[in-house]
A and B are shown apart, each in its own frame.
Chain A
Amino acid sequence: MKKKLFLAAAAAIGLFILLELGGLALEIFVYSKSGGETLAPGLQKKTSAELERRNKANRTRLRECRPYGLYVVVDTAANRLSLKKGEAVVREAVISCGSGDVLDEPGGTRRWTFDTPRGGFAVQSKLVNPTWIKPDWAFIEEGEKPPSDYNSRIDNDSLGDFALGFGDGFFIHGTLYTRLLGRNVTHGCVRLGDKDLKYLFESVGLGTRIFIY
């Protein structure tokens, strides 16, 4: 019995080593047959000194793409907003970002996905005591028919004291639901606590870049 077990274990180890060696041999074979990588012919012909000059120029171009002065970084996964200057963090705040939920219009064709948009944006508007003009989804979500009367869409309470617009109806604004800061609960906008919102509003100007990921 012991001998059989020993033989089985030895066979398993032997198989394992064989597979490993076979795999290694295959990798070497495939690598030798790969014929190397393809490079842009323009790059291949350049001398090392030319390459160094080209790389230096490209690094400068890359630096020029970066924002000067303050910029805003929004981490939608951690629900954190950072106001930064270069590498330094000037202020950090707990926020609420999009819930990722989906709303289908009953009997209709429209669909809304409540994600906070990602990418590079800029502050396009700065509003004091902002008014929210409730879009159709705000009514549909509550089981109501969107009103045709404009005045019925006006909401003066939900957005807090300030709002920073960054395009397509998305804002960084205040909230009545401060206990939900740190959670993904919004319809796509970025909600901020009162003190942080005031600081951000006073610090950034129109055109300040906002990076959301």
Chain B
Amino acid sequence: MLTGLLLAAAAFGSALQITDRRVLLDQAKLLDAEVALAKSNKSYLYFDLSSNRVELRIQGVMLKTWDVADYSQWGRPLPSGSFKLEKKEALRTPKRKNITPAADKNKDEKNGGVDLEVLELKDMPGHFNFEFEKGITMRFKAVPHKLSMRLGNFFNSLGRLLTLPMKTILASLRKSNFTDIQLVLRNEIDAQGLYWAAEDGMSVLVLRK
């Protein structure tokens, strides 16, 4: 009985040591990458999946935080580390307005701010993907507050349920990497804010759960 208890305690202790070492290695990898990034004038995103938080940082300073309400993952687990955001994609990407000389002359400034044809936060999509190298995709959406959003999310989840097993099989057959992560943000404004802040080619640090 006592031997059994001692063995169990030893096994538990060993498991804790392995976890501690994994955390230390993750931290070492991320700190190495962040120190290099912090020397530049470019901002970077920090996905702290262990705390369900996304942060925008620059030179070690946290500029903005978004809370993650829900998180799910398919395919090969995402390791902690540094990644490059290759492309942000959305079904409805915001379009820039082309100014027609003279026709728009001071229009924005004379009309009292009504019907300004400019690109603002409200024009950003609340549902979008980040495509990374090595077959990694992060999908973002917001907690639905309207019926239309709930319906959209339902069909989106249904689509994922049907397509993700296929994609996993295909990736296994091709021996390529496939990781699909879905992050649900607290509200649509948060999601739009993250889309606004992210830029193609941006560096992203990920601390896994």
Contacts and interface: CB of A to CB of B under 8 A. Distances in A.
Contacts of A43: 25, 28-29, 32
Interface string B37-67: 0111111000000000000101111011000
A41 to B, nearest CB: 12
Nearest to B112: A179
A46 B108 CA distance: 60
Interface string A170-205: 000000010110011100000000000000000000
A77 B31 contact: no
Given A31-B77, A101-B98, A185-B118, A66 B193 contact: no
Given A19-B165, A61-B35, A211-B58, A184 B196 contact: no
Nearest to B43: A213
A37 interface: yes
B64 A213 contact: yes
B35 A62 contact: yes
A29 B28 CA distance: 29
Contact of A26 (B117, B120, B165, B193): B165
A184 B120 contact: yes
A183 B113 contact: yes
B21 A101 contact: no
Contacts of B164: 23
B117 A101 contact: yes
Contact of A48 (B24, B81, B108): B24
Contact of A141 (B59, B101, B117): B101
B156 interface: no
Given A26-B172, A120-B41, A180 B63 contact: no
A101 B58 contact: no
Interface string B4-37: 0000000000000100110011011101101100
B81 to A, nearest CB: 8
Interface residues of A, number: 62
B118 A34 contact: no
Chain A interface, >50% SS class? mixed
B146 interface: no
A155 interface: no
Contacts of B199: 118
B157 to A, nearest CB: 12
Contact of A77 (B17, B41, B105, B197): B197
Interface in A76-93: 76-78
Given A34-B76, A62-B34, A119-B42, A185 B168 contact: no
Interface in B76-106: 76-77, 79, 81, 96-99, 101-106
Residue from the set B56, B118, B119, B121 with the largest chain A CB neighbour count within 10 Å: B118
A48 B172 contact: no
Nearest to B194: A77
Nearest to B208: A37
B69 interface: no
A27 B25 contact: no
A33 to B, nearest CB: 7
B162 interface: yes
Contacts of B31: 54-55, 58-59, 62
Contacts of A75: 63-64
A48 B21 contact: yes
A33 B76 CA distance: 9
Interface stretch (A3-11, A102-110, A125-133): A102-110
A52 interface: yes
11 contacts: A31-B76, A39-B29, A43-B32, A101-B96, A101-B119, A106-B101, A140-B101, A143-B102, A184-B118, A185-B109, A213-B197
Given A23-B161, A77-B196, A143-B103, 6 more contacts: A43-B29, A77-B124, A101-B97, A101-B99, A101-B118, A185-B109
